[in-house]
Structure 1
Amino acid sequence: MFCIIKTEFIKLKRFHILLIGMIGMTFPAILSVFTQTVSTPESQIKNFNISAMIDNTIWNNATIFMPVTFTLIGGYLINREYTDDTLKNIFTIPINFQNLIIGKLITMSILSVLFGFYSFLITIIVGLVTGITGLSTTILLKGLIQMPGIALCTFISVLPIITFTSRKRDAFMGGVIISFLFGYSSMFIKNATLRSIYPILSGLTVIRFDTGIYMNTAEPANLFMSILTLAVVLLLTSQIILFTNPPHKTVKNKKNNKFLRQGQKSQS
């Protein structure tokens, strides 16, 4: 497994998809400042300091940018094996197809945490450049924990989408659209119980993020239910991987079924 992960990071040096990820993780911080600038006085966040900017960036990341970015990159890493026609060579080593998928997903989980750190760094830089005040050690530590934390939780939330769309070549682009809708829809869920079992919002609850300002509700979600939800998502992902057949076996089975039907027709 370590060899698979190491190989994936080596191959990432040749892909430009990481640049897309870095751009995607840069926009939330810029969007936080932009929306605050163009909003009407009534809708602006009062005392918009570094702490408020970090919170705004986390919200933008979790509901829009991270689900799309992580599904795009994760799906791309798996889809490259189809487009480069390397699966037939990999299977001769041999490597179990399930282990290959798991290795790529672990690689993406590490990347998601790194993207979380990157987003935090960009947020601080944008805040300082635009003259936003209120920076302190406490705020830095809080953001340093919450940003990578929400990145990992968001990645877990979209794992079933990445895994399921990995079963077919180029299907990951459809997964990107689903992830966008999955994240965007979370902004309209007000009920505390639903927020506890909706994976995207479960991640916000796990990192102890206050959604009151963004969802117009003071009722907190349930931490235990949120953790349980993410655990169920991991379990669901494992089952999808377990029942995912290697592509060469799928093709072989289709050919065998075709020959079988032809044989039956000739006999009849």
Structure 2
Amino acid sequence: MLKLIQIEFLKLRRQKLLYFLLPCSFVMPFFSFLYFHYLGETNVNPMMFYKWSAFGFTQFMILPFVLGMLCVIFMHEETRYDMFRQLWIVPVNKMGLFFSKFFVTLLYSMSFMLLNAAASVLFGVLPGYFPFSWADTLFLVERCLEIAVLIGISMLPVLALSALQKGYLFPACMILLYLFAGFFMTSVCPYFHPISCTSILIARNGIIPGLTLPSELLPAFLGILVWCLGSIAFASLALRKKKVGGEHMKTLLWAELQKLRRSNILFVTIFAVFFVAILVFSGGVVMVSEEQYALNRTGWYLSTAQVWATLFVLPAMLALFGSYLICREDQDDTMKSLLLIPVSKRKLTAVKLFVTFVFSIFTYFLLFLLTFSAEVILHTSEVSFQMFFHFLSMYLLEGIGVFLAVSPIIALVPYWKKSYWLAMVLAELYSFACFFMSMSPVLKTFYPISAIFGVSGYYETSPEGRFCSLLILLLCGGVSLLFLQRTKGLH
């Protein structure tokens, strides 16, 4: 077992993405510093600052996303080159290999949260928001280590799912749905998701201000235990199943569509859109307020679903989809054969971008059909053709806008040589930062993700502001084309 753990650490030295993921621990401490600086507060309760920097989005979104990516990378490196076949011949204990990867993930999680704790103290003490206190610092370190261990254990389902799939698209997309579900279920039914169970344990005794959760700890422990045992059993079954053993644009487009038929990404996208729609609806009925917005307010569901999908799920999925399409031939080593035909790499890239563009519009159109159907069922007498076309144009414009906003990230992938994970991480941070950028009227206009909502008409803005937002999105599209034009070997 120790030998397997040592080998996993040696593999980590070749993963440059992991060195990029560690600085993500500074994201929320830095945004917490900006938030309190924006409010102009000088005497801040340390627990309130730590709630923003360590006990909030870091626990619910950033750390699970980083560990989920780590789990997928661990398993994908083995399945990509069919290494399991050679490992079973050695032989290597299958569950020992699984637990060695989990142990490394757990240590990485602890390193991540210790960095987050150090950054939280620095960003809170140095600007003078609160004085340094050993008691508060030790409390922060203690809870950060608890978060690291519990969230690391909560990632066992993702690690087990990655062991089943040879590809990475399905488990990578499931990461977003998994943490998105944990975020919503914390207020609805927290005992049914390990991430929400973790929040109950961290917020015990009501010591974290503004975080009111059920006080029963035993059901939370049992919830995490059930998920862990189920994940271990699932991983055992999954590992047991791995046995030893001169073109036209129309033609290129047809070929890309045929490739998609063999991929799980379409099924995963449809499932993700349904999942987001269901979670937002349940939130509007159960956890928003006693008024039950989704049932009593016409148009609330249509307006809210697009925002949450854009901030948490769809940009990252689109970046993963587009970057995978562009570098798929290089990954499968089929580009040499295509160039012998010959196939124009520039035309091939243009077709892939077009497919990504259509894919973005398709996801938002599907989300619109689901949300509008729910509105028709709930508020039949209040739905009109004017409302239908208003929200339809809003959703379609957001589909176009999201493609333009993430296109520079997709275009950078050829420079990074198959770093699809980095594209997905950047897109997730990129869309998540919109929370804070939208606080400023100027940044809300010029930040690409928030500019999407201005162009689509989600929030009111002046004609000049909408024109500026449109220019920003077009600039993103132009920058992506410039990157692709300068990519070596594209011509």
Alignment match of 1:229 (pick from 467, 472, 479): 472
Bigger Rg over Cα: 2
Give 1:221 deviation, angstroms.
8.0
Alignment match of 2:343 (pick from 95, 101, 104): 95
Matched ranges for 1:122-161 at <5 A: 122-127=370-375, 131=378, 134-161=382-409
Find the counterpart in structure 2 of residue 203 from structure 1: 452
Matched ranges for 1:1-268 at <5 A: 1-41=249-289, 45=293, 48-127=296-375, 131=378, 134-189=382-437, 190-210=439-459, 222-246=465-489
Q: Is the 8 A contact 1:192 1:221 kept in 2?
A: no
Q: Is the 8 A contact 2:285 2:294 kept in 1?
A: no
Give 1:59 deviation, angstroms.
0.7
Q: Is the 8 A contact 1:18 1:73 kept in 2?
A: no
Q: Is the 8 A contact 1:192 1:220 kept in 2?
A: no
TM-score by structure 1 length?
Answer: 0.80
Q: Is the 8 A contact 1:76 1:172 kept in 2?
A: yes
Give 1:45 deviation, angstroms.
4.6
Structure 2 spans left out of the alignment, 5+ residues: 1-248
Partner amino acid for 2:488? N
Cα 1:194/1:48, change in 2 over 3 Å: farther
Tell me the alpha carbon deviations over residues 68-91 of structure 1, each in whole angstroms, 9 at most, x when there is no partner: 121121122223212321111111
Q: Is the 8 A contact 1:205 1:221 kept in 2?
A: no
Find the counterpart in structure 1 of residue 201 from structure 2: none
Aligned mates of 1:49, 1:2 — CA distance in 2: 46
Aligned mates of 1:17, 1:198 — CA distance in 2: 28
Partner amino acid for 2:444? R
Secondary structure class of the residue paired with 1:15: coil
Find the counterpart in structure 2 of residue 252 from structure 1: none
Aligned mates of 1:91, 1:50 — CA distance in 2: 55
Cα 1:165/1:50, change in 2 over 3 Å: farther
Tell me the alpha carbon deviations over residues 192-243 of structure 1, each in whole angstroms, 9 at most, x when there is no partner: 22111111111111111127xxxxxx99981111011011111111110011
Find the counterpart in structure 2 of residue 215 from structure 1: none
Give 1:24 deviation, angstroms.
2.0
Q: Is the 8 A contact 1:166 1:172 kept in 2?
A: no
Aligned mates of 2:263, 2:416 — CA distance in 1: 21
Q: Is the 8 A contact 1:30 1:126 kept in 2?
A: no
Q: Is the 8 A contact 2:285 2:295 kept in 1?
A: no
Q: Is the 8 A contact 1:197 1:226 kept in 2?
A: yes
Cα 1:172/1:145, change in 2 over 3 Å: same
Aligned mates of 1:243, 1:21 — CA distance in 2: 31
Partner amino acid for 2:305? T
Aligned mates of 2:426, 2:403 — CA distance in 1: 14
Residue correspondences, number:
241
Cα 1:128/1:208, change in 2 over 3 Å: closer
Q: Is the 8 A contact 2:322 2:410 kept in 1?
A: yes
Aligned mates of 1:137, 1:42 — CA distance in 2: 30
Secondary structure class of the residue paired with 1:62: helix
Structure 1 spans left out of the alignment, 5+ residues: 212-217, 250-268
Cα 1:85/1:55, change in 2 over 3 Å: same
* Identical counterparts, % of pairs: 24
Cα 1:115/1:195, change in 2 over 3 Å: same
Cα 1:101/1:246, change in 2 over 3 Å: same
Give 1:140 deviation, angstroms.
1.5
Aligned mates of 1:66, 1:73 — CA distance in 2: 10
Cα 1:194/1:57, change in 2 over 3 Å: same
Give 1:67 deviation, angstroms.
0.5
Aligned mates of 1:6, 1:46 — CA distance in 2: 41
Secondary structure class of the residue paired with 1:95: coil
Give 1:44 deviation, angstroms.
6.5
Tell me the alpha carbon deviations over residues 55-112 of structure 1, each in whole angstroms, 9 at most, x when there is no partner: 1011112212220121121122223212321111111222332332221011110121
Partner amino acid for 2:370? I
Cα 1:26/1:40, change in 2 over 3 Å: closer
Partner amino acid for 1:55? S
Partner amino acid for 1:66? L
Aligned mates of 1:114, 1:28 — CA distance in 2: 15
